[in-house]
C-alpha cells in the first residue's frame, strides 16, 4: 500500500497529498490508524493532491494523518445471497438478520460496457394501472420516470407497480431497489410490504437514506446498478430496477461539488451533472439475452418541471409519467397528467393498433374539453352547445374512469385494490368515446376497475 497525508477536511471532502505513487480515480483509501475509516478518490486538486469523498465519519480524521491506498475500488457483495436482504454500499446488512455469507463481489464501477450487445426495447410491460398502461405504456427493458413534487404520489405509484409487476409475476424476474436519499420510514414501509406479500426473497434492497452524507447517496444508485448488472449478466435474469429518488442522486452530486468549490453550471447545478447522469443511465440497458427495466421517481422542486436537475433525466427515458398537483387536489388518483406524459411504447410498431388509435382519440377529446373548461366554469355546462356538452361529458367520464384503487393503499382508503388488463382499458375507453356511456353519471366511474362493474348498462 502507498501512503498519503491529509491536507484539509471540509465537510465530507478530504484533501489528501501523495508525493509518490499517486492513486487512481475511485481508489479506496483507509486511515492508517483505523481501517474502518474509508474515503474514495474523487478528483485531482493539484499536482500531488486529490479530493476524496469521506464514506464514513470524519470524526477520527485530522490534518497530517496518514492514509493508505488499498489500490482497489469500492466493491459490493452480489449473488442470490443478497436477495431478500437490505444492505448499504459496503454490503453490510441493515435488516437485523445477521451477516450475509456471499461468495462473489463486484466493483460498483463498470468500465467494460459492450454496446454491440444492447437491444432496443420493443415489448410492453403491463402494470395493471389504467392511466399508465393506456397513456404511457412501459417498455420491458426500458427506462421509466415518475415526475412530481412533494406529496403527489410518486412513491405510492412506484410501490403499486412493485406490487403488480413483482408480486404478481414473482417467478419471472428478480428485482433491485435502490433507496437514494429518501426517508427511512418509507424504506421500512416498503420492506414490510414486500415481506407481507411474500416476494421479499426475490428482491435485493440497497439503501442510502436522506440522513446519510452526500458521498453515500451519490454512490448508492451506482451500487444498485452494479447489482442489477450482475443479475442480468452473471445469473442471466431479467431485472426490475427501482430507484427512489433519482433527483437525490443529482442533488448529492451538487452538494459534493459545492464543498469542492466547483463552478456551478446551468441552474446552479454542478457542471458534471450531465456526465453523472449519463454514466449511470448508460449502464441500465437490455442485452440480447436479458433485460433491465428501470423505474425512477424524480422529485420536482417547487413543481417546476423545467428545473435543470429534473431536465437532466429526461433524455434517457423511454416513458415519462408526470404527476400533477392540481389533479391530485381534485381527488383523482393516480394524479397523472395525460397531456404531459409520454412513452416510446405508444406507437404503431409496438402498441396494438386499436390501443394506439384509441389513445390519440382520447387525447384529442381531452384537449377539446380542457379548452371548454373556463367557459363552462363561467356560464355553466348546460349553456354549452349540444356538441360541446357531449365532449365535456365524455372527457369527464374518461378522467373519472382513469382513477384507480391501489392494493398498497387498501389499509388507508378502505377500497379494494384493482388490477385492470390493458385490453380491458382500451375497450372501455373506446366505448366511452363511441358514446355508449353518455347517459351514465360520471361519478359512478370514480375508482372502479373496468366498466363491467357498472350494472344496468
Task: Tally the C-alpha atoms within 13 A of residue 366's C-alpha that lie toward its C-beta.
Answer: 19
Say whether 433 sits in a helix, a strand or coil: helix
Same domain, 247 and 143: yes
Same domain, 416 and 427: yes
Active-site annotation holds for 217 = no
Residue 455 has pLDDT above 70, yes or no: no
Q: What is the pTM of this model?
A: 0.88
Say whether 44 sits in a helix, a strand or coil: strand
Select from 420, 423, 408, 414 the least CA-distant residue to 445.
420
Active-site annotation holds for 182 = yes
Cell of 236: 442471466
Select from 166, 86, 84 the least CA-distant residue to 126.
166
pLDDT in tens, 297-318: 999 998 888 999 999 999 999 9
Active-site residue, from 15, 40, 160, 182: 182
Q: Which of 73, 100, 125 is the C-terminal boundary of a domain?
A: 73
pLDDT in tens, 5-33: 999 999 889 999 998 889 999 999 999 99
Active-site annotation holds for 364 = no
pLDDT in tens, 115-173: 677 888 888 999 999 999 999 999 999 999 999 988 888 888 888 888 888 877 766 78
Contact 283, 276 (CB under 8 A): no
Say whether 274 sits in a helix, a strand or coil: helix
Active-site residue, from 106, 130, 140, 154: 154
Active-site residue, from 183, 325, 368, 444: 183
Same domain, 253 and 115: yes
For 299, the domain range is 76-343
Question: Which pLDDT does position 14 carry in this prediction?
Answer: 93
Q: Which of 21, 42, 73 is the C-terminal boundary of a domain?
A: 73
Look at residue 150 and tell me if it is in a domain. Answer: yes
Contacts of 53 by beta carbon, 8 Å cutoff, 6+ apart: 12, 13, 14, 39, 40, 42, 215, 218, 219, 256
Same domain, 162 and 65: no
Question: Which pLDDT does position 1 carry in this prediction?
Answer: 74
Q: Which of 73, 96, 114 is the C-terminal boundary of a domain?
A: 73
- Rounded to an integer, the average pLDDT of 241-250 is 91
Contact 319, 174 (CB under 8 A): no
Same domain, 189 and 306: yes
pLDDT in tens, 181-236: 888 888 888 888 788 777 788 889 999 888 888 999 999 999 999 999 999 988 88
Cell numbers 358514446 correspond to 435
Number of domains in the chain: 3
Contact 260, 54 (CB under 8 A): no
Residue 114 has pLDDT above 70, yes or no: no
Amino acid at each position: 500500500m502507498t501512503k498519503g497525508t491529509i491536507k484539509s477536511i471540509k465537510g465530507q471532502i478530504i484533501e489528501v497529498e501523495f508525493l509518490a505513487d499517486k492513486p487512481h480515480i475511485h481508489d479506496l483509501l483507509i486511515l492508517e490508524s483505523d481501517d474502518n475509516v474509508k474515503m474514495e478518490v474523487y478528483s485531482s486538486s493539484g499536482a500531488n493532491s486529490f479530493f476524496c469523498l469521506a464514506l464514513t465519519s470524519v470524526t477520527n480524521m485530522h490534518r497530517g494523518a496518514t492514509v493508505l491506498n488499498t489500490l482497489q475500488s469500492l466493491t459490493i457483495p452480489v449473488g442470490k445471497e443478497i436477495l431478500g436482504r437490505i444492505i448499504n454500499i459496503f454490503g453490510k446488512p441493515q435488516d437485523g438478520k445477521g451477516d450475509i455469507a456471499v461468495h462473489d463481489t463486484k466493483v460498483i464501477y463498470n468500465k467494460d460496457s459492450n454496446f454491440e450487445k444492447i437491444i432496443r426495447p420493443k415489448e410492453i410491460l403491463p402494470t395493471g394501472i389504467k392511466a399508465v398502461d393506456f397513456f404511457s405504456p412501459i417498455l420491458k427493458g426500458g427506462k421509466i420516470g415518475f415526475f412530481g413534487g412533494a406529496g403527489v404520489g410518486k412513491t405510492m405509484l412506484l410501490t403499486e407497480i412493485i406490487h403488480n409487476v413483482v408480486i404478481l409475476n414473482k417467478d419471472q424476474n428478480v428485482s433491485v431497489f435502490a433507496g437514494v436519499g429518501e426517508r427511512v420510514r418509507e424504506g421500512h414501509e416498503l420492506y414490510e410490504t414486500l415481506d407481507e406479500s411474500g416476494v421479499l426473497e426475490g428482491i435485493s434492497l440497497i439503501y442510502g437514506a436522506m440522513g446519510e452524507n452526500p458521498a453515500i447517496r451519490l454512490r448508492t444508485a451506482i451500487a444498485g446498478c452494479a447489482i442489477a448488472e450482475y443479475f442480468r449478466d452473471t445469473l442471466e435474469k431479467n431485472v426490475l430496477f427501482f430507484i427512489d429518488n433519482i433527483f437525490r442522486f443529482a442533488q448529492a452530486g451538487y452538494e459534493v461539488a459545492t464543498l469542492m468549490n466547483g463552478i456551478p453550471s446551468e441552474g446552479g447545478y454542478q457542471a458534471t451533472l450531465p456526465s453523472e447522469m449519463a454514466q449511470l443511465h448508460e449502464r441500465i440497458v437490455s442485452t440480447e439475452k436479458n433485460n433491465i427495466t428501470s423505474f425512477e421517481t424524480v422529485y420536482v422542486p417547487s413543481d417546476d418541471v423545467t428545473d435543470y436537475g429534473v431536465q437532466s433525466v429526461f433524455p434517457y427515458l423511454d416513458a415519462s409519467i408526470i404527476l400533477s398537483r392540481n389533479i391530485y387536489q381534485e381527488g383523482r388518483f393516480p394524479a397523472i397528467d395525460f397531456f404531459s406524459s409520454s412513452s416510446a411504447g405508444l406507437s404503431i410498431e409496438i402498441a396494438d393498433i386499436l390501443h394506439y388509435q384509441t389513445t390519440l382519440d382520447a387525447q384529442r377529446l381531452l384537449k377539446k374539453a380542457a379548452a371548454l373548461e373556463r367557459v363552462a366554469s363561467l356560464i355553466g355546462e348546460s349553456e354549452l352547445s349540444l356538441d360541446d356538452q357531449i365532449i365535456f361529458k365524455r372527457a369527464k367520464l374518461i378522467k373519472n374512469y382513469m382513477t384507480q384503487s391501489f392494493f398498497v393503499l387498501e389499509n388507508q382508503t378502505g377500497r379494494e385494490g384493482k388490477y385492470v388488463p390493458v385490453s380491458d382499458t382500451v375497450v372501455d375507453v373506446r366505448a366511452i368515446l363511441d358514446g355508449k356511456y353518455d347517459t351514465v353519471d360520471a361519478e359512478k366511474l370514480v375508482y372502479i376497475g373496468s366498466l363491467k362493474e357498472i350494472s344496468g348498462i
